[in-house]
Amino acid sequence: MARDFEAVGVVGLGTMGAGIAEVFARNGLRVVGVELDESGLVRARAHLEKSTSRAQARGKLSEEDAQALLGRIQLTSQLTDLADVDLVIEAVPERLELKTAIFAQVDKIVRPEVVLASNTSSLSVTELSVRTGRPSRVVGMHFFNPAPVQQLVELVRTVVTEQDVVDDVAAFARKLGKVPVVIGDRAGFIANALLFGYLNHAAKMFEERYASREDIDAAMRFGCGYPMGPLALLDLIGLDTAYEILMTMYNQSRNMMHVPTPVFKQMMTAGLLGRKSGRGFYTYDGPDSSKIVDDAHTPKPAGASEEQVRKVSTVGVVGTGTMATGIVEVLAKSGLDVVLRGRSAGKNDAALNALKRSLDKAVVRGRLTEEDRDAAFGRVHATTNFEEMAECDLVIEAVAEELDVKRAVFGTLDEVCKPGAILASTTSSLPVIECAAATSRPGDVIGLHFFNPAPVMKLVEVVSTISTAPDVAATARALCGTLNKHAVSCGDRAGFIVNALLFPYLNDAVKMLEAHYASADDIDAAMKTGCALPMGPFELLDVVGLDVSLAIEKTLYQEFRLAGYAPAPLLEHLVTAGRLGRKTGQGFRDYSSR
Ligand X SMILES: NC(=O)c1ccc[n+]([C@@H]2O[C@H](COP(=O)([O-])OP(=O)(O)OC[C@H]3O[C@@H](n4cnc5c(N)ncnc54)[C@H](O)[C@@H]3O)[C@@H](O)[C@H]2O)c1
Tell the smallest beta-carbon distance from residue 31 to ligand X (Å).
Answer: 14
Q: Are 547 and 580 in contact (CB under 8 A)?
A: yes
User: Nearer Cβ to ligand X, position 276 or 333?
Assistant: 276
Determine if the peptide bond prior to 230 is cis (ω within 30°): no
DSSP state of 459: E
Which residue, 14, 214, 32, is CA-closest to 109? 32
Per CB under 6 A, which region of 8-16, 311-319, 450-458, 520-528 contacts ligand X? 8-16
Give residues 263-282 in contact with ligand X (rule: CB under 6 A). 276
CA distance linking residue 584 with residue 544, whole number of Å: 12
Interface residue with ligand X, options 52, 100, 121, 475 (CB under 6 A) = 121
Which residue, 553, 544, 534, is CA-closest to 584? 544
| Phi-psi region at 189: left, alpha or beta (left = phi > 0; alpha = psi -120 to 50) | left
* Catalytic residue of the set 22, 35, 90, 154: 154
> What residue type is assigned to position 451 of the chain?
F
Number of amino acids touching ligand X (CB under 6 A): 28
* Catalytic residue of the set 192, 425, 428, 429: 192
Q: Determine, following the binding rule CB under 6 A, whether residue 287 of this chain makes contact with ligand X.
A: no
Write the CB contacts of 573 (distance below 8 Å, at least 6 apart in sequence): none
Q: Determine, following the binding rule CB under 6 A, whether residue 230 of this chain makes contact with ligand X.
A: no
Per CB under 6 A, which region of 140-148, 305-313, 441-449, 534-542 contacts ligand X? 140-148
Q: Determine, following the binding rule CB under 6 A, whether residue 94 of this chain makes contact with ligand X.
A: yes
Which residue, 469, 385, 456, is CA-closest to 421? 469
Tell the smallest beta-carbon distance from residue 105 to ligand X (Å).
Answer: 9
Interface residue with ligand X, options 3, 5, 25, 40 (CB under 6 A) = 40
Tell the smallest beta-carbon distance from residue 244 to ligand X (Å).
Answer: 7
User: Is 121 a catalytic site residue?
Assistant: yes
Tell the smallest beta-carbon distance from residue 20 to ligand X (Å).
Answer: 9
Which residue, 123, 62, 127, 423, is CA-closest to 252? 123
Per CB under 6 A, which region of 87-95, 160-168, 254-262, 494-502 contacts ligand X? 87-95
User: Nearer Cβ to ligand X, position 249 or 315?
Assistant: 249
Interface residue with ligand X, options 124, 212, 241, 277 (CB under 6 A) = 241
User: Nearer Cβ to ligand X, position 146 or 545?
Assistant: 146
Write the CB contacts of 286 (distance below 8 Å, at least 6 apart in sequence): 278
* Catalytic residue of the set 119, 121, 428, 467: 121
Per CB under 6 A, which region of 237-245, 466-474, 527-535, 552-560 contacts ligand X? 237-245
User: Is 192 a catalytic site residue?
Assistant: yes
User: Nearer Cβ to ligand X, position 147 or 417?
Assistant: 147
Determine if the peptide bond prior to 93 is cis (ω within 30°): no
User: Nearer Cβ to ligand X, position 279 or 485?
Assistant: 279
Q: Determine, following the binding rule CB under 6 A, whether residue 16 of this chain makes contact with ligand X.
A: yes
Interface residue with ligand X, options 7, 8, 11, 396 (CB under 6 A) = 11
Which residue, 138, 98, 137, 106, is CA-closest to 32? 106
Q: Determine, following the binding rule CB under 6 A, whether residue 14 of this chain makes contact with ligand X.
A: yes
Write the CB contacts of 495 (distance below 8 Å, at least 6 apart in sequence): 429, 501, 503, 552, 555, 556, 559
User: Nearer Cβ to ligand X, position 142 or 279?
Assistant: 142
Spell out, one character per residue from 151 to 190, where the chain touches ligand X: x when CB under 6 A holds, - when not: ----------------------------------------
User: Nearer Cβ to ligand X, position 34 or 331?
Assistant: 34
Q: Determine, following the binding rule CB under 6 A, whether residue 34 of this chain makes contact with ligand X.
A: yes
User: For the chain, what is the radius of gyration of the CA atoms?
Assistant: 27
Per CB under 6 A, which region of 49-57, 141-149, 493-501, 539-547 contacts ligand X? 141-149
Which residue, 172, 186, 23, 27, is CA-closest to 86? 172
| CB closest to ligand X, residue no | 14
User: Nearer Cβ to ligand X, position 183 or 432?
Assistant: 183
Write the CB contacts of 478 (distance below 8 Å, at least 6 apart in sequence): 302, 303, 309, 312
Tell the smallest beta-carbon distance from residue 154 to ligand X (Å).
Answer: 9
What is the 3 state secondary structure string of 460-475? Answer: EEEEECCCCCHHHHHH
What is the 3 state secondary structure string of 176-226? Answer: CCCEEEEECCCCCCCHHHHHHHHHHHHHHHHHCCCCCHHHHHHHHHHHHCC
Q: Is the dihedral of CA 408, 409, 410, 415 positive or negative?
A: positive
Per CB under 6 A, which region of 116-124, 176-184, 290-298, 396-404 contacts ligand X? 116-124
CA distance linking residue 351 with residue 249, whole number of Å: 50
Per CB under 6 A, which region of 10-18, 63-71, 204-212, 491-499 contacts ligand X? 10-18
User: If residue 241 lies in a helix (H) or strand (E), which one and from where to where?
Assistant: helix 239-253
User: Is 142 a catalytic site residue?
Assistant: yes
* Catalytic residue of the set 142, 201, 258, 449: 142
User: Nearer Cβ to ligand X, position 18 or 409?
Assistant: 18
Q: Are 287 and 238 in contact (CB under 8 A)?
A: no
Interface residue with ligand X, options 93, 225, 271, 470 (CB under 6 A) = 93
Give residues 407-436 in contact with ligand X (rule: CB under 6 A). none
Which residue, 124, 88, 97, is CA-closest to 12? 88
Which residue, 561, 505, 492, is CA-closest to 531? 505
Interface residue with ligand X, options 100, 119, 467, 499 (CB under 6 A) = 119
Q: Determine, following the binding rule CB under 6 A, whether residue 75 of this chain makes contact with ligand X.
A: no
Q: Determine, following the binding rule CB under 6 A, whether residue 22 of this chain makes contact with ligand X.
A: no
CA distance linking residue 320 with residue 401, whole number of Å: 13
Q: Determine, following the binding rule CB under 6 A, whether residue 92 of this chain makes contact with ligand X.
A: yes
Q: Are 503 and 549 in contact (CB under 8 A)?
A: yes
Interface residue with ligand X, options 17, 140, 148, 536 (CB under 6 A) = 17
Using CA atoms, how far residue 114 sits from 96, 418, 461, in Å, is 21, 79, 54
Q: Determine, following the binding rule CB under 6 A, whether residue 120 of this chain makes contact with ligand X.
A: yes
What amino acid positions are annotated as catalytic residues? 121, 142, 154, 192
Q: Which residues bind ligand X (CB under 6 A)?
A: 11-17, 34-36, 40, 91-94, 102, 119-121, 142-145, 237-238, 241, 245, 276
